[in-house]
Amino acid sequence: MVPAELPEPVAGPGQVVFKLRAASLNFRDLLMVEGRYNPRQPLPLIPLSDGVGEVTAIGAGVSRVKVGDKIAGNFSQKWISGEPARAKLSASLGGPIDGMLAESRVLDQEGVVHVPEHLTDEEAATLPCAGLTAWNALINTGRLKPGEVVLLQGTGGVSIFALQFAKAAGARVIITSSSDEKLERTKALGADEVINYKTTAEWDKRAKELTAGVGADHIIEVGGAGTFNKSLRAIRIGGRISVIGNLSGNVTEVNLISILMQNICVQGMLVGNRDGFEAMNRAIALHRIRPVIDRVFSFDEAPEAFKYMSSGSHFGKICIRF
């Protein structure tokens, strides 16, 4: 990762130029800058999918935003609405197209959204990837109903957003962590039950107990290889496991019989479309939800921010202030 002097972007027809104010980091960005992201992205590349900025210029025909507006870019620039498809997923910020670790950026007006007014720039900058992924999994695709049970793994960005959205949607939340202190913090955010998976290694059994033997309605699977089979045991018949990330590795042995005999839906979950981003923002505004930020770095400290992320000790999001 090296700094570069780039020309000031210009707003073509339908385009929006904005000056970055804050950005946030995702695990995907870490893989990207370490060259471990698969598939490999073309270089050079401005990293970071998530950022918020102020509009400084608009091109001909732009009607969705005006100069001075606070906006964020949608992760998948061409996924505006509806179901995903290859073409709609071909233009993700931070790879393959340039991301937000820049002074100014230009995007198509269809690919940007206004951010909720009650949020700081750093808070707003956490929404595009982790926030929308959690929303897409639980609300847009998962259609969570009040009273349903959501099981969350750990206290990373997606899990904490999922906790906040699940509570806003009236669900009951069970969350795991290896740290009692972090679990206490999730309780303050509304978690109904917590499981320390270091002291309760069989968290799947504990989740079943907490649900009268039924299992969770919805699990946000962020662990991957290390947790997936436990998730298959913690879910209810007919339940849904949204596969978000693979923090503990990708390849695992799966007993397909577990999926079959329990009528489970294992749903791969990409970030989400722009319409979903706007729907999420409306809910965030109504509920005055504040994204949880672990630590804020300055623009020049970006390398330290990535290093901190790789330590894995954060609770919520890591941000960069411009």
Residues that bind its own copies (CB under 8 A): 12-14, 38, 64, 80-89, 139-140, 143, 145-148, 165, 168-170, 172, 192, 214, 221, 224-225, 228, 237-238, 243-246, 250-270, 273, 275, 279-280, 282-287
Q: Report how far apart, in Å, the C-alpha atoms of 22 and of each of 6, 9, 34, 194 are.
A: 18, 18, 22, 32
Query: Of 228 and 297, which CB lies nearer to its own copies in the complex structure?
Result: 228
- Short-list 155, 151, 180, CA closest to 166: 151
Q: Shortest distance, CB of residue 31 to its own copies, whole angstroms?
A: 11
100-137: string of b/e by CB count within 10 Å (b at 16+)? bbbebbbbbbbbbbbbbeebbbbbbbbbbbbbbbbbbb
Identity of the residue, 45 or 283, whose beta carbon is nearer to its own copies in the bound complex = 283
CB of 206 to its own copies, least distance (A): 19
CB of 138 to its own copies, least distance (A): 10
Cα separation, 122 vs 105, in Å, equals 17
Residue nearer to its own copies on the CB measure, 167 or 182: 167
Cα separation values, 242 from 44, 66, 150, 271, 302, Å: 32, 36, 11, 12, 31
Nearer CB in complex with its own copies: 186/296: 186
- Please give the C-alpha separations between residue 161 and each of 120, 126, 264, in angstroms, as whole numbers: 16, 10, 24
At its nearest, how many Å lie between its own copies and the CB of residue 67?
20
Bridge-based pairing of strands 193-196 and 149-153 is unpaired
Tokens of 282: 């409306």
Q: Classify 87 as helix, strand or coil.
A: helix
Whether the CB-CB separation of 259 and 229 falls below 8 Å is answered with no
Torsion angle of alpha carbons 89, 94, 98, 99, nearest 10°? Answer: 120
Judged by CB, which is closer to its own copies: 268, or 303? 268
Cβ proximity to its own copies, 196 vs 258, nearer residue: 258
Q: How far is the CB of 130 from its own copies (least distance, A)?
A: 15
How far apart CA 151 and CA 165 sit, in angstroms, is 13
Considering the complex, state which of residue 128 and residue 224 has its C-beta at the smaller distance from its own copies: 224
Smallest separation (angstroms) from its own copies to the CB of 197: 19
Least spacing, CB of residue 63 vs its own copies, in Å:
8
In the complex, least distance from residue 227 CB atom to its own copies, rounded to whole angstroms: 10
Nearer to its own copies, 23 or 151 (CB): 151
Residues, the chain, total?
322
Residue 284 burial class via C-beta count within 10 angstroms: exposed 0-12, middle 13-18, buried 19 and up: buried
